Structure 1
Amino acid sequence: MSGPLEGLVAVVTGGASGIGAAVVARLREDGARVAVFDRELHDGLADAYRVDVTDDAAVRAGIDAVGTSMGGIDIVVNNAGIGAQGTIEENPDDEWHHVLDVNVVGMVRVARAALPWLRRSPSAAIVNMCSIAATAGLPRRALYGASKGAVQSLTLQMAADHVREGIRVNAVNPGTADTPWIGRLLAAADDPAAERAALEARQPHGRLVRAEEVADAVAHLAGPRAGSTTGVMLAVDGGMAGLRLRPRE
């Protein structure tokens, strides 16, 4: 049997590792042809394009190459992003500019370049990767949270602008996920085991989010079965955004 994304073409930014790689695998499992955009590619990665989302010319060239070679573009998953730690005192101006350029303007560049292709698709969808940091205040995440708050607002504005063109725009808000970035943070901690336990404990279901769980949410929002869903932020956070549990006895 064919999958729900059979015949559709998707572009996934930051698709070579972590959540992006899980999204690529899931979309392919559902039948889509998927082009991977990433700054760093590894051997054996199919349909991969070396694209830095801060480079508008490279983004446009990559999008046009995919659209031409694959016969169109139906889905864009704006997953590329970078992390940042610190209070407002700890991140210098150049780091603010860089993180916002990647996490926010990078999404704009990719979606903007893809719009001419998406307008031709009967199943056009954009899914932006947001974060629990857009809706919850977390210690030492001022810059990262600000960038993801911008992504949440950007998603709503894009959804309003393009819904009548038949282009749906949604976002996924993961909680703390078991990704390479989190792995590096844990490795740098004084007590990695205690830090991991603390991260797991702040999510009501008691563990880190799996990349595959985020990919499942992306696949749902990207697919035609979600045809009446637009302007939505789908939380995949173990209840972190909305649940307030009593301490364990």
Structure 2
Amino acid sequence: MIQVLGRKQTSSHEDWLEVMDNIERLVPKRELDNLLDRSVEDVKKKTKGKKTAFAWSGGKDSIALEGVMKEAGVQECLMGMSNLEYPQFLRWVTDYMPDGLEVINTGQDLKWLAKHQDMLFPQDSTTAAKWFKMIQHKAQEKYFEKHKLEIIILGRRKADGNYIGKKGENLYTNRQGITRFSPIADWTHEHILAYLHYYYENPLPPFYSWPRGYRCGTHSWAARQWCDGIMDGWREVYMIDQDIVFEASKYIASAKTFLERMR
């Protein structure tokens, strides 16, 4: 394999598109198949006899994870979301979500966002991480307890700088007693794109055709990261779905200001 891409935030959307265009040269199918087989065997070994489910977000990593889970025989899964999602993305989810998916809505909406405007368009990794903890982690905790799981499987990868547990194990249990396992932790960005190229037959979620798509990834619109300030954040959302900004302007002054400047 030839590795080209660095951390998600250090590679441009165009860099990702170029790699996808050349993916057969960078990652031969045989190499991807060997990695896929190893990941499937790892799942079978670590989850044998244990009640298990996986987390799915609709993003590229969770699509690859979904493929591993299908081969490993794990069907039950969950998706954490809020009321601050892009309508286009929700339509895509409805059409292409995996069988066995349970959606858990943690309830954040425009009225909530109006009271927590420090969370709007995060400009640092600490704030961005709060979104993940507030929605995805909370949903995972609820699902884990509700279904009395022993292991929940995630699409976390080292290439994104994610914590995945002890080296070589890719598994850890937190203080709340929730065990998280990351079987694709060692997959590179190129491996993920190779899986999409060789095996994923459905359309990709709309995020990846939007501005900074691969760089930003899948998330609630209010969690759109690394914009050049609040007005730039509203500009990007406006380019994707104007109705979101018009609705937000009823509650959030900066959205109203943005629309006034557009006149």
Question: What TM-score do you get using the length of structure 1 for normalisation?
Answer: 0.28
Task: Identify which of structures 1 and 2 has the higher relative contact order when contacts are C-alpha pairs closer than 8 Å and 6+ apart.
Answer: 2
The answer to which structure has the higher helix fraction is 2
- Greater C-alpha Rg: 2
